[in-house]
Structure 1
Amino acid sequence: MNALDSTFSSGARRTSLPATARILFALLERMDFGALTLTTPDGITRRFGPGGSVGELDGEVDLTLRDWKLCGDVLTGGDVAFAEAFMDDRWETSNLAALLTLIALNQRALEVAFYGRWWRQLVFRAKHLLRSNTKRRARHNVVAHYDLGNDFYGLWLDPTMSYSSALFNGDMSGSLSSAQEAKYERVLRQLAPEAGAHLLEIGCGWGGFAECAARAGCRVTAVSLSDAQTTYARERVAEAILQSQVEFCIKDYRDISGKFDGIASIEMFEAVGVKPGARACIQTITIANDRFEQYRQTSDFIQQYIFPGGMLASPEMFETQVQAAGLEVDDVHSFGQDYAETLKRWLAAFDAHVDKVRAQNFDHRFIRCWRFYLAYCPAGFASETTDVAQYTLVAA
């Protein structure tokens, strides 16, 4: 007897299996990696996958479905529907990150389930396009994510208030704060600024890189669309007595004019003018070349719930855009597994402070959404579907 039989027995019970469950289970039977223990709403446990360890996954991963309708929802709505069902307590697991990593590792086999039907994806894609990062929408999209409050992010980010991948340089046992500072220092080294150089930072966040560059003797113009982040960043450099070297601007990067001795952008995939001989260092998340076209034509959980208007580039697309801007790639440093570790630490900190998150009037569904997000992203890096890299650019 296997998971595709139309009826199942458990003691004296016999349970009819819905058609959508049969289809979903047929996909799970195609898993190439790991093992999944699935408990269905009838209380029956079924196992899928060849077993064995895969990367950091050791042993079986569990998933408990609380209603059969979820099977059909996932088949039509893909990862967005799966995430929404988690937010609504319709399924549970003892290890969310491990489950999502298992799904990512088996994405080829489970593609139909986790990309969803074309008509449902069309709806998601339309919603995403309506929130694309035109100038008019960019500020709204930023507010939707970054202006949740400095106190919220301060609960689970490290003391540097860095909301981008840290750089562990092979030592995953090191502190997150040290790894974040190492990330900033590497960007600065790649820019190789002379004393008094004028740098532009696009998307300055809470001011971590701006402070690092100012301490090194640079002048910095740092732009952001987030009021909350900019207020924090100004206070930060004032406390460090560096305010004379840093100018924070609430401005769309597309409205910046002039030339700079160097440009830094950490997980904001954009660039503006550099002086002859100057350099730019862009830290950006990418999606695998062979996954980009499908990704471009659909919309996923991150775009629907976390970063409205967001779009990852593939390495090929990124380099094409660089060349079109009259620049060339001088150096690439990829460190996707460092991002997986960064996210793992964020999730642990978020879970440790969930009562304080709740005390800030964030509801149960919001908390489930953010737990899913912080577990979903490292799965992409673990499966090498996504990567993060620092690209150093020079004038062609």
Structure 2
Amino acid sequence: MGERFAAEPGFVSRLVAPGFRTVLDRIDAGLETGSLLAHLPDGTTRMLGARKPGFDVEVWLRDWRALLRLATGGSIGWFRAWEAGEWEADDKVMLFALFTANARTLGGTARSSGPVRWLSRVAHRFNRNSRKGARRNISAHYDLGNDFYAAWLDPAMSYSSALDIADDGLADGLEAAQNRKMDAIAERLGSARSVLEIGCGWGALANRLARDGADVTAISLSAEQLRWARERHGPGIDFVLSDYRDMSGQYDAVASVEMVEALGRENWPVFMDCVARALAPGGRAAIQYISMSDDLFETYAASVDFIQAYVFPGGLLIKSSEFRKLAEKRGLVWRDEVRFGQDYAQTLKIWRAAFDDAVRGGHLPDGFDQRFIRLWNYYLSYCEGGFRSGLIDVHQVTLVKD
């Protein structure tokens, strides 16, 4: 079927081109900032946008069908088109940043529609984060193997945004910037003697807090992560395979770094109940989370995007205003919120470079084929573009129990 819409400027290509140019018209009208120079399958070029400064990118459409996939499948369709070789760009990150930065004015132009949207939503419902579903979803992403993540993360295996990282990604390095992130979390918790960490990853933050003298209970649903953490981190930490909903007892402090994006909206109140229940009176929680801009959240949540479909089943970014209201309703005072989304963009840039280096050097473990490798390169680029746009952000906040 692809040959019917191939790049040669033949009869069929000329026949279908007007319909696809309607899609280009909608993209052009929706690009309030930045520009997209499109090289089309019939050999012509077209400049889209270019009204106000923004992200500028050049795209080569090898097949008209890429636009059909975009118009019907949104970010999922656009990935499938890239995977099929139907388009390429001089800079994928800038392309994703351009689309995200103009999400308000593009409207439904780059979102799934019709049967594709309905089928994606039905499939996504099977990824709900029930106790069983949450274990399955977490395993799908984090149990790819410790050797896989070790090939491109920093030595502490910090898989969340670093803090105060230089624009060039160098300066004192990613590891130092990850340590600053953990220091900031520790500072928010004060002199807590007992800490519950919800979603402990490979244990770097738990180890940091234990070195300060805290007794840390660190929970995760990833058996692979916990195996790594138990082997490498010392006393003072109780690593537990547990769902946050099953935890009991009270602690001086609670920490959670980029775990809440795995909950799903229906579980945000449950999470806040858990935090309020776990904190002793006067206790403090430090939460790091990723948000979608409030005014775009409802539209985002109503569809299924590339990450939910291919990388992180059951995931959903946070609507910050709603998250805050849920905390305050439970007597948790919202304090000292900071945002550092551009630090996340730089973190992702470094991860992607390290990932690509690991691929070139043959350092990934066996079993990951070229399709998987290309998917992950695309995923890291997609995420970086989202943070570059400014509409996706990362936050740290302190919650204090009255």
> How far 1:339 moved relative to its partner?
0.7
> How far 1:247 moved relative to its partner?
0.7
Change (3 A) 1:359 1:200: closer
What's the counterpart of residue 232 of structure 1? Answer: 228
> How far 1:254 moved relative to its partner?
0.7
What's the counterpart of residue 286 of structure 1? Answer: 291
Structure 1 CA distance for aligned equivalents of residues 388 and 24 of structure 2? 24
What's the counterpart of residue 188 of structure 2? Answer: 190
Structure 2 CA distance for aligned equivalents of residues 109 and 87 of structure 1? 27
What's the counterpart of residue 26 of structure 1? Answer: 25
Structure 2 CA distance for aligned equivalents of residues 99 and 129 of structure 1? 29
Change (3 A) 1:324 1:61: same
RMSD over aligned Cα, in angstroms? Answer: 2.1
Structure 1 CA distance for aligned equivalents of residues 364 and 69 of structure 2? 29
What's the counterpart of residue 365 of structure 1? Answer: 371
Aligned residue for 1:109, secondary structure, equals helix
What's the counterpart of residue 176 of structure 2? Answer: 178
Task: Indicate which of 48, 52, 67 corresponds to 2:63.
Answer: 67
Structure 1 CA distance for aligned equivalents of residues 296 and 333 of structure 2? 24
Please tell me whether the aligned partners of residues 168 and 174 of structure 1 are also in contact (alpha carbons under 8 angstroms).
no
What's the counterpart of residue 156 of structure 2? Answer: 160
Letter in 1 for 2:47: R
Structure 1 CA distance for aligned equivalents of residues 159 and 245 of structure 2? 22
Please tell me whether the aligned partners of residues 112 and 303 of structure 2 are also in contact (alpha carbons under 8 angstroms).
no
TM-score (norm 2): 0.88
Aligned pairs (5 A) from 1:24-103 = 24-30=23-29, 31-50=31-50, 54=54, 57=55, 60-103=56-99
Letter in 2 for 1:217: G
Is structure 2 residue 255 aligned with structure 1 residue 257?
no
Letter in 2 for 1:78: G
Is structure 2 residue 348 aligned with structure 1 residue 343?
yes
Aligned residue for 2:128, secondary structure, equals coil
What's the counterpart of residue 324 of structure 1? Answer: 329
List structure 1 segments (4+ residues) > 6 angstroms apart after TM superposition. Answer: none
Please tell me whether the aligned partners of residues 286 and 315 of structure 1 are also in contact (alpha carbons under 8 angstroms).
yes
Letter in 1 for 2:226: T
Letter in 1 for 2:28: E
Change (3 A) 1:169 1:193: farther
> How far 1:52 moved relative to its partner?
7.0
* Structure showing the higher helix proportion among its residues: 2
Please tell me whether the aligned partners of residues 224 and 250 of structure 1 are also in contact (alpha carbons under 8 angstroms).
yes
> How far 1:316 moved relative to its partner?
0.7
Please tell me whether the aligned partners of residues 333 and 390 of structure 1 are also in contact (alpha carbons under 8 angstroms).
yes
Aligned residue for 1:264, secondary structure, equals strand
What's the counterpart of residue 5 of structure 2? Answer: none
Letter in 1 for 2:312: F
Aligned pairs (5 A) from 1:368-379 = 368-379=374-385
Aligned residue for 1:156, secondary structure, equals coil
Please tell me whether the aligned partners of residues 62 and 94 of structure 1 are also in contact (alpha carbons under 8 angstroms).
yes
Letter in 1 for 2:20: A
Residues 56-81 of structure 1: CA deviation (Å, up to 9, x unaligned): x4xx4121222212211111111111
Please tell me whether the aligned partners of residues 38 and 47 of structure 1 are also in contact (alpha carbons under 8 angstroms).
yes
- Structure 2 unaligned blocks of 5 or more: 1-7, 261-270
Paired residue total: 374
What's the counterpart of residue 266 of structure 1? Answer: 257
Structure 2 CA distance for aligned equivalents of residues 153 and 339 of structure 1? 17
Structure 2 CA distance for aligned equivalents of residues 346 and 62 of structure 1? 24
> How far 1:19 moved relative to its partner?
4.2
Structure 2 CA distance for aligned equivalents of residues 367 and 91 of structure 1? 18
Is structure 2 residue 399 aligned with structure 1 residue 393?
yes
Range that drifts further, 275-284 or 41-50: 41-50
Range that drifts further, 379-388 or 354-363: 354-363
| Aligned-residue identity in percent | 41
Structure 2 CA distance for aligned equivalents of residues 52 and 296 of structure 1? 29
> How far 1:328 moved relative to its partner?
1.9
- Structure 1 unaligned blocks of 5 or more: 1-8
> How far 1:112 moved relative to its partner?
2.2
Structure 2 CA distance for aligned equivalents of residues 293 and 78 of structure 1? 16
What's the counterpart of residue 282 of structure 2? Answer: 277
Range that drifts further, 161-170 or 15-24: 15-24
> How far 1:51 moved relative to its partner?
6.6
Is structure 2 residue 253 aligned with structure 1 residue 248?
no
Letter in 2 for 1:28: I
> How far 1:47 moved relative to its partner?
2.0
> How far 1:118 moved relative to its partner?
4.1
Residues 275-303 of structure 1: CA deviation (Å, up to 9, x unaligned): 01110001011111101111222111111
Residues 220-268 of structure 1: CA deviation (Å, up to 9, x unaligned): 100011111111111121xxxx22x011001111111000110000011
What's the counterpart of residue 263 of structure 2? Answer: none
What's the counterpart of residue 138 of structure 2? Answer: 142
Structure 1 CA distance for aligned equivalents of residues 43 and 373 of structure 2? 27
Letter in 2 for 1:180: Q
TM-score (norm 1): 0.89
Task: Indicate which of 300, 307, 313 corresponds to 1:308.
Answer: 313
Range that drifts further, 225-234 or 270-279: 270-279
Range that drifts further, 314-323 or 38-47: 38-47
Is structure 2 residue 212 aligned with structure 1 residue 206?
no
Structure 2 CA distance for aligned equivalents of residues 159 and 82 of structure 1? 34
